[in-house]
């Protein structure tokens, strides 16, 4: 069985590619660079060199596959080619840099998911699109039935575009990942939080730090993508969550202990200016359940947990 994976060279994508290869699948991964393509070939996968803003390429790759996993996402300037950067700065003249950035991200992702879905249209084949549990309703344990809160940046547009292919004969489903998918090679939020703590000389939480972040180990997440591709129901929203909610104070304390620096509490996210873009996330209380996901797919995360993982030296290599 042949699968096509976008974001195949990334932290999670690499684990996903290895998971599918070990299970006997033929994997083709997308990368923008020949170095990325070589990395994939070393693992035993095939590669397509291309970008998210090349719909014809994405549609053809999906059509040649028996299923698609979509992980790539334009998270920042480093993920944008020259044309997108020019559009970003031109758009910034009319409404500011952040709204221009979000517009381009939104367009690129929506067009990419459209292209992948149309390559599978009418086949009944699986399309698994990545989303996140952050920005599900705050302050309660969210479930697979919840929708993202309105008026906050979230991945609901990825979900809507993907699930729009269900009536068009695609077995489309969504995996909402925890805000921290952790493990060796993590380049997500935790390394940025460690970097900010090191720079500031203190490890920060907001208020009493009781707000909770869900977490999942990267190998468990990779297995979930395989199970969703094999058994996923059309229209399902699965939660890639092992630990329902780790109190942020515990995360900050673990980082402080490892760096041998103090913790400090800030009254509001905005008051912790040195956190930059992280201040949008560190105070969020987004505990999430994956009970239904585990029952439906027979997925059993085996960890390790986030705090045990942050204990590993990998997280503190400079
Ligand atoms: N890491 C986490 O803790 C976490 C948590 C929640 C959700 N997620 C989501 O999970 C997905 C994967 O995250 P990750 O942490 O594995 O990402 P990552 O390590 O930063 O990797 C990014 C991947 O996306 C590809 N990519 C970036 N821009 C691209 C573009 N314009 N065109 C084509 N490919 C592009 C890169 O490929 P090349 O560089 O080879 O071209 C790379 O494979 C993302 O959707 C992310 O939002 C991650």
Q: Above 90 in pLDDT, residue 88?
A: no
Q: Ligand 1: distance of its center to the CA of 179 in Å?
A: 13
What's residue 317's pLDDT? Answer: 84
**CA 204/CA 191 separation, integer angstroms:** 14
Calculate mean pLDDT across residues 21-25: 98
- Ligand 1 pocket check for 187: Cβ under 6 Å: yes
| pLDDT band of 69, cuts 50, 70, 90 | very high
Calculate mean pLDDT across residues 171-181: 98
Indicate which atom in ligand 1 lies nearest the CA of residue 12.
16
Q: What is the pLDDT of residues 157-170, one digit of tens each?
A: 999 999 999 999 99
Q: What is the pTM of this model?
A: 0.96
What's residue 253's pLDDT? Answer: 97
Q: Ligand 1: distance of its center to the CA of 223 in Å?
A: 17
| pLDDT band of 77, cuts 50, 70, 90 | confident
- Ligand 1 pocket check for 7: Cβ under 6 Å: yes
Q: Ligand 1: distance of its center to the CA of 261 in Å?
A: 31
Calculate mean pLDDT across residues 113-128: 98
- Ligand 1 pocket check for 11: Cβ under 6 Å: yes
Torsion of CA 198, 202, 205, 210, to 10 degrees: 110
Map out the domains of the chain with their CATH numbers: 2-187+215-244+285-303 (3.40.50.720)
Q: Ligand 1: distance of its center to the CA of 145 in Å?
A: 25
Q: What is the pLDDT of residues 128-138, one digit of tens each?
A: 999 999 999 99
Q: Above 80 in pLDDT, residue 318?
A: no
Calculate mean pLDDT across residues 14-28: 98
Calculate mean pLDDT across residues 227-253: 98
């Amino acid at each position: 069985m042949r699968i096509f994976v976008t974001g195949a060279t990334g932290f999670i994508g690499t684990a996903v590619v290895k998971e599918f290869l070990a299970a006997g699948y033929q994997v083709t991964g997308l990368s923008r660079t020949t170095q990325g393509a070589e990395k994939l070939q070393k693992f035993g996968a095939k590669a397509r060199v291309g970008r998210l803003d090349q719909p014809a390429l994405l549609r053809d790759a999906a059509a040649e596959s028996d299923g698609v996993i979509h992980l790539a996402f334009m998270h920042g300037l480093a993920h944008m080619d020259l044309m997108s950067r020019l559009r970003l700065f031109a758009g910034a003249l009319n409404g500011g840099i952040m709204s221009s950035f979000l517009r381009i991200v939104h367009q690129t992702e929506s067009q990419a998911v459209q292209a992948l879905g149309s390559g599978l249209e009418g086949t009944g084949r699986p399309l698994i699109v990545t989303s996140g549990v952050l920005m599900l309703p705050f302050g309660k344990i969210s479930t697979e039935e919840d929708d993202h809160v309105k008026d906050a940046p979230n991945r609901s547009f990825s979900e809507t575009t993907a699930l729009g292919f269900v009536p068009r004969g695609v077995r489309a489903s969504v995996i909402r990942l925890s805000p921290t998918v952790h493990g060796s090679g993590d380049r997500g939020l935790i390394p940025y939080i460690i970097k900010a703590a090191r720079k500031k000389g203190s490890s920060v939480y907001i208020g009493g730090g009781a707000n909770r972040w869900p977490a999942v180990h990267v190998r468990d997440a990779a297995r979930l993508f395989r199970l969703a591709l094999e058994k996923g129901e059309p229209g399902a929203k699965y939660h890639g969550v092992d630990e329902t909610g780790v109190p942020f104070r515990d995360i900050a304390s673990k980082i402080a202990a490892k760096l041998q620096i103090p913790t400090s509490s800030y009254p509001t996210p905005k008051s912790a200016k040195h956190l930059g873009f992280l201040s949008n996330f560190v105070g969020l209380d987004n505990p999430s359940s994956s009970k239904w996901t585990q029952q439906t797919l027979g997925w059993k995360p085996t960890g390790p947990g986030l705090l045990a993982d942050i204990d590993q030296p990998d997280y503190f290599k400079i």
